[in-house]
């Protein structure tokens, strides 16, 4: 048995090669990999000795040769293939171990030059991988270090690789080539070429939306059904998921997550992790029905639950702090579909042990930083339409006190300003049209997803009344501007004393005059939060 090893990432390769050698496998290799293995005392033959042609062009040409590809592509069950190998002195290669030049990591670096990007496009590696993967019935192809153990296990027990493992590795190999080519296409079709001199230091400007979109996703699991039982569904994650995102979560117990569970869990998690202080978010049918901050998980949950106990039944609950015994005891009294937190105490886990259907998930909070990735957020989001795709940058805008523009005679109090920021943050996660009443770091009434902003305002008031919550002296966030004064009158009639809205309507002055007439404060945020 003969193995050809040529890897860019050499993690674990020495140990793997040593194990192959111990099993009697002959080793072929190239360049730096061959030197590394030889330095470790392994008997390795350089590919140049086999091809009788030296590596050239700074290593760009070394394996693109019939002595290599013939050994990979020849079908062992086809006499004509084997006769051709014999005629030309080509020996078969039974195992290929290749990982590719780090193109994705290279272009992800700040200041990556076009020259560096181009130089990290692997040619020989993908060509060999494709050859071996096509001939999977005879050749095993390894494209990742996490495949080493499975290969060694079968070689040790059976002396050969099973058809099942070779096929699985072939599929993984073609997937890797697809990912690699997609990354190259994404990068090159985003480059705005502006340097006719082609200097080595040229760092190109890149378009946020490339000429071709080649997003790569990996299946996490098949789902029982989609939004409805007659629909099929599966859950996929980004090839490189951002830390702190839902796709990185671990389910500790409970039934399998459903399509709707996952969609609602994402809405809850994205909302709760946007707060710097202890917070709880309860989501039902993609909308927050209760959000609050408190001194700890228990207090924030107690306040969030008050907003709409009816809708909270069968909801999704997310915390941005560990769930302790007190919080767990409180949550366990209601019917909950999914419960998410960075961690659960031993006492909390014990409380939920008897509730076997409750899905518990842990998700580590992102470390935070300057980029969307650092904060576990998508930089770009998509929406599928008929025979097409809409892409846009995600709504990751964060409002600060300095952004608020007071447009009324009455000035908001410091407490009202803090509640306005809280309400505005919640409104970002409520479906449009969105109206959110808040007070003391707690949602008091949420109106979501209505065709009319007036209806959203009325629904928020109805829900507050049903929950026996007073809207007197509350603040209100509206995700888009009030086109007429009637919407403002509805929230003021309900008890609001301070309102935040984007502004930008032709009738802004009419609404400002109405606020002054009603004796309430109003601030403009300058941005809106449509969420469809």
pLDDT tens, residue by residue, 52-77: 777 766 666 767 788 888 999 999 98
pLDDT, residue 192, reads 86
Contact indicator for 269, 340 with CB cutoff of 8 Å: yes
Cβ burial, residue 112 (10 Å; 0-12/13-18/19+): middle
Handedness of CA 320, 322, 325, 329 (dihedral sign): positive
Contact indicator for 33, 7 with CB cutoff of 8 Å: yes
pLDDT, residue 158, reads 94
Contact indicator for 151, 23 with CB cutoff of 8 Å: no
Q: Cα 306 to the chain's mean position, in Å?
A: 32
- CA dist 154 → 73, 158, 522 (Å): 22, 6, 71
Which residues, given as ranges, of the chain have pLDDT below 70?
56-60, 62, 195, 197-198
Catalytically active residues are 134, 285
pLDDT, residue 82, reads 87
- CA dist 505 → 497, 509, 525 (Å): 21, 9, 13
pLDDT, residue 472, reads 97
pLDDT, residue 198, reads 67
Give CA–CA dist 478/501, Å, rounded: 5
pLDDT, residue 163, reads 95
Give CA–CA dist 291/464, Å, rounded: 13
Question: How many Cβ atoms sit within 10 Å of the Cβ of residue 354?
Answer: 8
Question: How many Cβ atoms sit within 10 Å of the Cβ of residue 380?
Answer: 13
pLDDT in tens, 457-516: 999 999 999 999 999 999 999 999 999 999 999 999 999 999 999 999 999 999 999 999
Which residues on adjacent β-strands are paired with residue 191? 206
Give CA–CA dist 408/514, Å, rounded: 10
- CA dist 93 → 13, 68, 160 (Å): 18, 8, 13
């Amino acid at each position: 048995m003969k193995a050809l090893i040529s890897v860019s990432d050499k993690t674990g390769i020495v140990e793997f090669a040593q194990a192959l050698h111990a099993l009697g496998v002959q080793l072929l290799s190239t360049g730096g990999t061959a030197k590394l293995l030889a330095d470790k005392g392994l008997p390795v033959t350089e590919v140049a000795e086999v091809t009788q042609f030296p590596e050239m062009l700074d290593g760009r040409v070394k394996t693109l040769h019939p002595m290599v590809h013939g050994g990979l592509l020849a079908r062992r069950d086809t006499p004509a293939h084997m006769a051709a190998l014999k005629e030309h002195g080509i020996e078969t290669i039974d195992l290929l171990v290749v990982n590719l030049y780090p193109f994705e990591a290279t272009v992800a670096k700040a200041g990556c030059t076009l020259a560096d990007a181009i130089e990290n496009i692997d040619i020989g590696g993908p060509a060999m991988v494709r050859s071996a993967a096509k001939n999977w019935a005879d050749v095993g192809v390894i494209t990742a270090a996490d495949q080493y153990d499975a290969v060694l296990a079968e070689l040790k027990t059976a002396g050969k690789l099973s058809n099942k493992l070779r096929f699985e590795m072939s599929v993984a190999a073609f997937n890797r080539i697809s990912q690699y080519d997609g990354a190259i296409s994404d990068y090159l079709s985003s480059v705005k070429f502006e340097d006719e001199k082609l200097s080595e230091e040229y760092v190109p400007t890149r378009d946020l939306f490339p000429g071709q979109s080649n997003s790569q996703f990996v299946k996490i699991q098949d789902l029982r059904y989609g939004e409805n039982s007659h629909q099929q569904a599966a859950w996929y994650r980004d090839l490189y998921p951002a830390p702190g995102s839902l796709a990185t979560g671990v389910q500790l117990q409970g039934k399998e997550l459903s399509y709707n569970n996952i969609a609602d869990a994402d809405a809850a998690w994205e909302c709760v992790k946007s707060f710097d202080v202890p917070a709880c978010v309860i989501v039902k049918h993609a909308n927050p029905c209760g959000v609050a901050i408190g001194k700890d998980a228990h207090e924030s949950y107690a306040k969030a639950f008050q907003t709409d106990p009816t809708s909270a039944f069968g909801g999704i609950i997310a915390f941005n702090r560990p769930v302790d015994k007190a919080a767990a005891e409180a949550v366990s009294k209601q019917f909950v579909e999914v419960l998410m937190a960075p961690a659960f105490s031993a006492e909390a886990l014990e409380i939920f042990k008897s509730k076997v259907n409750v899905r518990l998930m842990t998700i580590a909070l992102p470390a935070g930083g300057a980029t969307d990735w650092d904060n576990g957020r998508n930089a770009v989001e998509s929406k599928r339409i008929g025979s097409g795709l809409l892409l846009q940058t995600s709504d990751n805008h964060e409002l600060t006190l300095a952004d608020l523009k007071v447009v009324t005679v009455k000035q908001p109090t410091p407490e009202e300003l803090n509640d306005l920021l809280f309400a505005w943050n919640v409104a970002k996660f409520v479906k449009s049209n969105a109206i959110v009443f808040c007070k003391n770091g707690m949602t008091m009434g949420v109106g979501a997803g209505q065709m009319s902003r007036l209806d959203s305002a009325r629904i928020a008031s109805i829900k507050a009344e049903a929950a026996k919550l007073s809207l007197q002296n509350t603040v209100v966030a509206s995700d888009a501007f009030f086109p007429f004064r009637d919407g403002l009158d509805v929230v003021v009639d309900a008890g609001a004393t301070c309102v935040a809205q984007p502004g930008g309507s032709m009738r802004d002055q009419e609404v400002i005059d109405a606020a002054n007439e009603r004796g309430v404060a109003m601030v403009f945020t300058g941005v809106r939060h449509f969420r469809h």
